[in-house]
Amino acid sequence: MFIGVAVFLLISKRMKKKLVEQAEREEVQEEERDEEKRKGSENDIQELMPFKKIENGLIWREDGSIQAVIGVDSLHYHLLSENEKRTIDGALASLLSSLSFPVQPLSITRPVDLGDYVDALKNVLDEAPESMKEYGQDHILFLEEKTRQEVLIKYDYFVFGVEHMEDEQKMKAELDRRAGLIISGLRRAGMYARVLDTPEVSAVFYDIFHGNRAIRQRIHDAFREDYFSLYVSRKEIPRQEGLNAPPPPSESTHNELMDTQQTGNRHEERKRLVMLG
């Protein structure tokens, strides 16, 4: 009797060990299949992309050509005077007539979520002087009212490139010359433009493929019209042209309610500025 029980336990132990080993093998095989699927999916996505890589802000195409993207600040054309409109129209017409290479304009419109900015503003307001709290509360209510509606931000770009050349440095130099030509022409029209770097070019593709996702940024980053915000001032920086031009600072000097003591007409003017951004 004892021997039978021992044999039964031994067989049970061996069977349990085999079941555990089999389960471990199946788990490993399942992980390998998932990894193969993931790699296959990545390869499929890369095959769909019309370029090989993005490096130093340049888009390298399969045919050996390279492209760059210029970001342009939006311009409130319909708010300008007739003389200003004529000046801008003339500058743009002059730019177009001077171009001997193709340029592709691109506009991307995305929703923006100002919740993070409103929360940060509330925290700042707790430490603000009493004379500023009423103004700050009024501004918060205004922003919360605006965020109940869909706020859209439009980004404008120009895409241009150079055909493949055997001399890579010569190809890059030609691209830089074309970038300077476009940027200087846009500057004469009163628009600030610059060549995007690698993260910014990648963000353009992200915006194209995820256009319905809201931007969660503070208002001085979301409204890109010279980074205007009620509580932001920025230092004037020299504007350079070409591919080697440094990007503008990502953060402006934040005054945290301390430089906004004017009320009345200035208050309403700044409200309108936010709406127009």
Interatomic CA distance for residues 247 and 249, integer angstroms: 6
The answer to whether 67 touches 171, Cβ cutoff 8 Å, is: no
Residue 127 pLDDT level (bands cut at 50, 70, 90): confident
Interatomic CA distance for residues 204 and 158, integer angstroms: 11
pLDDT for the residue 12: 62
How large is the average pLDDT for residues 1-11?
Answer: 55
What pTM did the predictor assign? 0.55
Interatomic CA distance for residues 190 and 226, integer angstroms: 12
Interatomic CA distance for residues 37 and 111, integer angstroms: 33
β-strands 152-162, 66-72: how paired?
Answer: antiparallel
Question: Hey, where are the domains in the chain?
Answer: 1-48, 59-276
Task: Among 27-31, 199-203, 242-246, name the one with the lowest average pLDDT.
Answer: 242-246
Res 171 pLDDT > 90: yes
User: What tokens appear for 143 in the block?
Assistant: 């922003």
Cβ-count burial of 116 within 10 angstroms (0-12 exposed, 13-18 middle, 19+ buried)?
middle
Q: How many CB atoms lie within 10 A of CB 267?
A: 15
Torsion sign, CA atoms 79, 214, 196, 96: negative
Segment 49-89, tens digit of pLDDT: 678 888 899 999 988 899 999 999 877 888 889 999 999 99
Task: Report the mean per-residue pLDDT for the chain.
Answer: 72
The helix or strand, by DSSP H or E, that contains position 55, with its residue range, turns out to be: strand 53-55
CA distances from 170 to 53, 163, 185, 194, 209 (A): 19, 11, 23, 21, 33
Res 24 pLDDT > 90: no
